[in-house]
Structure 1
Amino acid sequence: MSDKPSVLFVCVHNAGRSQMAAGWLRHLAGDTVEVRSAGSAPADTVNPAAVEAMREVGIDITDQTPKLLEYATAESSDVIVTMGCADACPVFPGKRYEDWKLEDPAGKGVDAVRPIRDDIRTRVEKLLAELRPSA
């Protein structure tokens, strides 16, 4: 892993969980980690409830758009965190993988998305501590 590790968050639509995780990591890590997110079947837009839940904690993800998971992006990432994309996520030997079991915020209101957002923050903080043990 380089001095600046890259983390790829992957979920099916790249509209909720992976966007919130990427938002948290960008917020908490600054420019010390390259943050990527993608989906196996990306939606047209980021989930409005996810956008609102993140806005409530001072993180703006309105400039993000769902992206298709590309082989090269996954191959060049140091850590791949999957969130329900199952077999659609490519597997590369020697990569660090984590599979986060998280409720899907699709179709839920902001009240239901807040606990998912907070769970993601806890997981991102733990991941960041592991990536930067001396920080």
Structure 2
Amino acid sequence: MPLLPSVLFVCVHNAGRSQMAAGWLSHLAGDRIEVRSAGSRPAAEINPVAVQAMREVGIDITGHQPKILTVDAVEGSDVVITMGCGDACPIFPGKRYEDWALADPARQDIEAVRIIRDEIRERIEKLIATLTTAR
């Protein structure tokens, strides 16, 4: 049985964008893709407005915790998607890297976070299509 493709979402605090992306990918891809997320400087907790925005579309990310970005997480992933972490993300040969320019949901109201959430969903749907047809 082939190994599942693995995706790592990285942002600075691992509290908003990367958590929403991980939630979307888990929800939309099910068990077809392994999902990870991490931050270069993780926050103490997930952004409550991001949790609220995801809950509105039926995805519960309340049980998730911000995690520190490790070399092992990058090495163990096929695709590394960064979201505003700049040079904090280690680069390894043979990995697919994408940088998603997304607004930071920190200190944003729910209307702004909904826009970010929906943009992430669009990107996740395209990502799933490339990962599931490439195998």
- 1:1-135 mapped onto 2 (5 Å cutoff): 2-133=2-133
CA distance in 1 between partners of 2:132 and 2:6 (Å): 12
Superposition deviation, residue 75 in structure 1: 0.9
- Give the unaligned 5+ runs of structure 1: none
Q: What is the aligned length?
A: 134
Superposition deviation, residue 109 in structure 1: 1.4
Off by >3 Å, runs of 4+ in structure 1? none
SS of the aligned residue for 2:133 comes to coil
CA distance in 2 between partners of 1:3 and 1:25 (Å): 17
**Aligned Cα RMSD in Å?**
1.2
Instruction: Give the TM-score normalised by structure 2.
Output: 0.96
CA distance in 1 between partners of 2:13 and 2:3 (Å): 30
Superposition deviation, residue 64 in structure 1: 0.3
Identity of aligned residues (%): 68
Instruction: Give the TM-score normalised by structure 1.
Output: 0.96
**Could you tell me which amino acid in structure 2 is paired with residue 110 of structure 1?**
I
CA distance in 2 between partners of 1:54 and 1:72 (Å): 28
**Could you tell me which amino acid in structure 2 is paired with residue 118 of structure 1?**
D
CA distance in 1 between partners of 2:134 and 2:55 (Å): 30
SS of the aligned residue for 1:101 comes to coil
Superposition deviation, residue 3 in structure 1: 3.4
